[in-house]
Chain A
Amino acid sequence: MPLPTRHVIGLMVDNLRKRKSVFPIPRRKAVRWAKALDIPEGGETVLYTGHMYQLLPYMMAAVRRMGGMEDSFLGRFVGMGRFFNRMINVSSFISIPRRADVKRCRQLLRNIAGLLQQADVEFGYLYKAELYSGALAYDVGADDVFHAHARRVYDMLKDHGVRTLITVDPHTTNMMRSVYPTVIDGYDLEVKSYLEVLAASDIRPQHRVDQSITVHDSCVYARYEGVIDEPRELLRRAGYEIREPKNNRELTHCCGGPVESLFPKVAHEVGLKRTKQLEQAKGAGVAAMCPICMATLEMASDNGLQIDDISSYLVRAYGGGAQQPAVDESTDDERSEP
């Protein structure tokens, strides 16, 4: 029996309306990844995370919890959970992340920032002022709440004097580049994916990596935003031999991630199909360009398929992947599962 769509969506939309994020997390946790990277605060050009990598461990935890509820009597209590969530943040109890997932996602953001620094790209970061883009609310059609949130995000960016966004994931890129202009009159921000910025830069590898790699294109990058050649250019420059899976580039096969929250079983089936295609390409590893793709494919694989974010593969060649400070190990993640 599937989870009640109305209440699962309702819970996320209530969170966005009330707490400015579909999965609210403390702001200090959302910015922790940038510790000791010396990224200036603010500026005309900022790295805009849209909180996707930061939210991923919490979303994965929620999906694991909700997957267990999908065919059980507990699914009937989702509505009650939504009721109480209006008063206290219930999602903070059902989505306690694994410490390893939190650490990994922070490292991926450090990779991305480090790559841009290696390419001598000047950028700032808004730290605690940054807000979630609202992507999930847009996808489920919660337009009233999404429009209000988009306005809030845009005003925040303008108040900070931002003119250009460098985005780190396909959903945020799509939101800020293609969706926001349709709902905000006079929208005037320039938006580039960090992959586009790097491919256009003079960044050169410090080491060549002689390894084959299978590329999994994100649907949103490939079919919504046309970001297809840039990741390949960066991988080739680094020495990787690219192996294309059966469905590639504009015809890439979805990972299943967009429905992970509502229909975990459906997401798993779609993801499993895709992992079989990726296995058949026989690369030494799989490069995903989206945190949701990465997580969904990992969870779906029944064969231990090696999947990692493309930034991990790029830092091996280009450098820039500063490790997290040792002090990060056990401070604010006491409630995280091991």
Chain B
Amino acid sequence: MSAYPETVAEIATALAKGEFSSVEITRHFLQKIAAHDGRLNSYITVCEEHALTQAAAADTLLQGKVAGPLTGVPYAHKDIFCTKGIKTSCGSRMLDNFIAPYSATVSERLDAASMVLLGKTNMDEFAMGSSNETSYFGPVINPWREETVPGGSSGGSATAVAARLAPCATGTDTGGSIRQPSALCGISGLKPTYGRVSRFGLIAFASSLDQAGPMATTAEDLALMLNVMAGFDKKDSTSIDRPTEDYTRTLNDPINGLRVGIPQQYFSSELDADVAAPIRTAISELEKMGATCIDLDLKHMHLSIPAYYVISSAECSSNLSRYDGVRFGHRCSEPRNLDDLYCRSRSEGFGAETQRRILIGTYALSSGYYDAYYRKAQKIRRLIRDEFQNAFANIDAILGPTSPSAAFEIGQKLDDPITMYLSDIYTTAVNLAGLPAVSIPAGFAEGLPVGMQLIGNYFAEAKLLQIAHQYQSTTDWHRLSPPMQSGVD
């Protein structure tokens, strides 16, 4: 047993009571990282010195009784958020040398809450991937089984939290990148409503879909983290000027009378039977707690993967044009001329998957194909959004599996992009519609975690976290952690 508590809520309470200091708990996590991360590869950068300095400052606040709710709590930060003075690689060789002269708004908010940055976590390159295998810094290991992937793109954050190398982490979710790795690693992860968390300083993959959110072991911890991360930001025009709430306030409210929609499309033939079983058990669990489950027919769901891959790739092809070797990032050696500079800098700087997405997106936007791909995908996006809106007229949340399978083996899908893309079959529609959704542990399939996804209406984060917390109050899946091979605990 660890001498230290594992959840954000418990650590925060203990810090406030002075049971241990922020420096002590920070040192504890740094030691665990040192012991295990050589194998797991969940961090790209570990900020030991920086973390201990922040922890010491947090301790001063705690001693002075002027601390906030999360003062001194360590966290891991996906390496997609710019952090002033600390390398932000986005999992790419292109940005292996990039140190931003500014911080993302999310980074600033976490700093302002006096949380302690342990390090920057590994991720699929530019957040493009569902297995964390596209990272320039090598694949991340799923701590539940060495041969399997943690999911992606926030795979480093998911593994770090699952292996208890951090009590919580940030992630970003463009098509499932918080929820799918959370599911595969047996942790909780929330993708908020589009516009709820600022995108400023978050390196863009697909601007109209990207949304940052928290990853942790419990729904309560997600609520605590979201309290810090959410809020309007005038530096992001797509951020929504609407007051935030205390997301912990309704966690303990009972869920009797709750109406939960179960879309038949989420239980189709693509779903592994051993994933379906725990989800069905979870449904009965919620019904026992007083929820009413209603069958739902989301007819356009099957269009979400093609629409998502057209739109996200189109936006990425434009967003990634700035990496041209001219002002920052990787530049090829001794370019012969301008075309050579562009061509070699980008060919060397970007990995295969990133290049594939740029090519797909460039094609989808090019003259003569725009109507057939991009415009059509936008129409589908509207249909999906409308379909969800109609559904939410009668229900409070939609429930289903987060991913069609549990963690798959490293290398298994890497050479088969279509199969890989289908890992996101249950998650991308949520991004297309801009809705919030949470993934929480709901059991195991042959020893590997299974995640349950709850989708809410716009700004229904508190409702989703309430359902998740109530479920976690009667189940133990979220408390289980993978056995660690060796270590200091």
The answer to whether A and B interact is: no
Which residues of A come within 8 Å of B, CB atoms? none
Which residues of B come within 8 Å of A, CB atoms? none
